[in-house]
Structure 1
């Protein structure tokens, strides 16, 4: 049930890596195109370029506009979307397995021939500025953006950029970024569904195979933590974020860290949820989140409460963080392991999870890992492993505090 024997991998002569997992029991299919080109590749004056380019890819080729491409996909029952991260930009495509090859033709055409029309650039700039304003007006979303920047420095700057940089990005900047990083050696394609590997390779080789461009070296980027940021605004609730630099995706200690963070801020049985929400009634919701990349990770805790309770909420969060560094029970570890095992096994049934795992395995590990490997790693986590990570990573003296609201906190 959890094996990966149906996975096949082809590397085209120009460096594009194509991975497929054939799943005959699924009627749908998912394809992901990952370019190793994210916001961390931007110079400060060009913050927002990677995200702007993601938008522009959908605006059309020299002979097909956005509406034409999207309607062609819709006729196949297919839907395309994308997301920009710090280290990559991923374009995703879902379709019935019976029409996925045709949908791949359209997606590959769009990704290999996008036009960057000058008028379309100006129209999309206004849309991106509206997206920025929408994020800026949401204290939870803006606080999270700021947390990444404060914990990770320039590596974690806001992916959307700033009003000033968005306004300054031009067609030439977008073209230069694409020519530098949207290159064959930076592209991984993962497809999960009932499709023949050879047919998928044929489609992608037809659209991308003749491209001989090489990538520019990834620019150096500063990773540096800042301890404190308060954004003084009038809101009904005070948003509170605490962040820590955490293990990267490739770190062998990550299964133990997953166990630790499940205990602290995972599901409704976690310490933070039981203490803050159920026992003290200080917040409607509270939880932790992990994001990881090649060389670093971030663990964050987020909650919100009435400004009058903000100081107490922060004190209680810190108290729970301090406590878990020295006191983890065997029962909590078993609860966390059960939760993590279940999440893995549920994921195997989802095509999007399978395709994303292919991408991560190829990009981070350079090999396809069987799910059983993760299950064994979880099973082998010891109490000492969890305690050691708690003491090294969850050090409040090395944490970052971001608050959005009326009350400055320390």
Structure 2
């Protein structure tokens, strides 16, 4: 059964829970005296471990004057701390064969490192040092500005990335969720050291920090390592404040009124291939139908036997890449179908994508197709657990998004419980929402006149 993470507080201010899985994996949670939460999953026999430091803040939380700050911080925290230079950070992990990275999302930011199990103390020390003690020098802000602008330029040269960004804008409208995660070039050029530093001070605080780790580890040892690193940084170790509240969730509201009305968006590019995205609003991250959505995505475009792969690629040879996707946030979500094709075939491809979506909603699916969809989703979940990074991320989502831990067996049970009627009903609900069509390719606004 799921474990409610909000009802586990003990009299001493520590929170923890043990959950034995079928393979002997053990999940535990502790709130340290200073307020930082630590969640671990011990995997017997694992010789590596992944550690992440998370804050529940993303690009959607930026004020207008600090747009791009979340992404800027992702870069700047690698530029040096009070104890380490940028080179010191790189050397510390390189010399143990580890790797480190960071990720900025629309609702979270994370910094993580993967190392041999014996070198987990190095990962804890370096990652915690970066998160708690970044110096954010003005010269580093100016120097990294050029690096980020190059990163944005590379993304702008990727036409599929451009299509995805425009699709998010079309679905979410002129809202923080509709903005690009990394900010625009103008945002980055305008960003000041003071704005970035203020964003850091406000959000990188003990009651907002979640440390998660998975692999070859012991929970109490990780807590001791994290406590030591936080003490070294001068973070408080006294009475623990209450954790920052989770982002307010709005489950079950498929079409909030602030969304865009749908329609056709064309982005003119001199390309040999057009990129097509058709879709609209999806489910929130906490909607109980997310298991149904997973099966729906698998059936429509999750693998080689899926509907759009068979119709668009295998039967007609119209695309090399075609797939379905979804994304869920606290109070919003999106769902879409993608294909890359020769520009002249765009109308045909759009018609096929829309047709397969409508056929699923109208005519349903058979037991064999349902079984394949459930099997694909189940297999991807279990195979993903071979990666300690995926386990580490699941812990963070349990804490920051869901407020409860759901084990693999429980998740597989939820997938197995999805029925054909569930999938058909959701497909119809998605179909009835405002739809958006985004096409990137060598078109002017009048050429793509295909109703979504």
- Report the TM-score range of the alignment, normalised by the length of the smaller protein: over 0.9
**1:350 and 1:216, CA in 2 relative to 1: closer, same or farther beyond 3 A?**
closer
Corresponding residue for residue 163 of structure 2? 143
Further displaced range: 335-344 or 5-14: 5-14
In the TM superposition, what are the counterparts of 1:91-240 in structure 2 within 5 Å?
A: 91-153=111-173, 154=175, 155-208=177-230, 211=235, 224-227=259-262, 228-240=264-276
Deviation, 1:67, is 1.0
Deviation, 1:181, is 1.3
What is the alpha-carbon distance in structure 2 between the residues aligned to residue 124 and residue 53 of structure 1? 10
What is the alpha-carbon distance in structure 2 between the residues aligned to residue 297 and residue 246 of structure 1? 4
What is the alpha-carbon distance in structure 1 between the residues aligned to residue 260 and residue 23 of structure 2? 40
| TM-score, length basis structure 2 | 0.86
- Compute the RMSD of aligned alpha carbons: 2.3
* Structure number having the greater helix percentage: 1
Deviation, 1:339, is 1.2
What is the alpha-carbon distance in structure 1 between the residues aligned to residue 312 and residue 129 of structure 2? 51
Gaps of 5+ in 1: none
What is the alpha-carbon distance in structure 1 between the residues aligned to residue 194 and residue 73 of structure 2? 11
* Aligned 8 A contact 1:182 1:215 in 2: no
Gaps of 5+ in 2: 1-20, 249-255
Deviation, 1:223, is 5.1
What is the alpha-carbon distance in structure 1 between the residues aligned to residue 121 and residue 92 of structure 2? 13
What SS class does the counterpart of residue 110 from structure 2 fall into? strand
What is the alpha-carbon distance in structure 2 between the residues aligned to residue 63 and residue 104 of structure 1? 14
Further displaced range: 111-120 or 2-11: 2-11
What is the alpha-carbon distance in structure 2 between the residues aligned to residue 256 and residue 381 of structure 1? 6
What is the alpha-carbon distance in structure 1 between the residues aligned to residue 410 and residue 358 of structure 2? 32
Corresponding residue for residue 62 of structure 1? 82
What is the alpha-carbon distance in structure 1 between the residues aligned to residue 92 and residue 215 of structure 2? 21
Deviations 1:370-395 (A, max 9, x none): 11111111111111111110111133
Deviations 1:70-90 (A, max 9, x none): 101212222110010000111
**For this pair of structures, how many residues does the alignment match?**
409
* Aligned 8 A contact 2:286 2:401 in 1: yes
Deviations 1:175-210 (A, max 9, x none): 111112112222211111221211211121223365
Q: Are 1:21 and 2:58 matched, yes or no? A: no
Deviation, 1:323, is 1.0
Deviations 1:310-351 (A, max 9, x none): 111111111111111112222211111111221222123321
Q: Are 1:34 and 2:54 matched, yes or no? A: yes
| TM-score, length basis structure 1 | 0.94
What SS class does the counterpart of residue 32 from structure 1 fall into? strand
What SS class does the counterpart of residue 341 from structure 1 fall into? helix
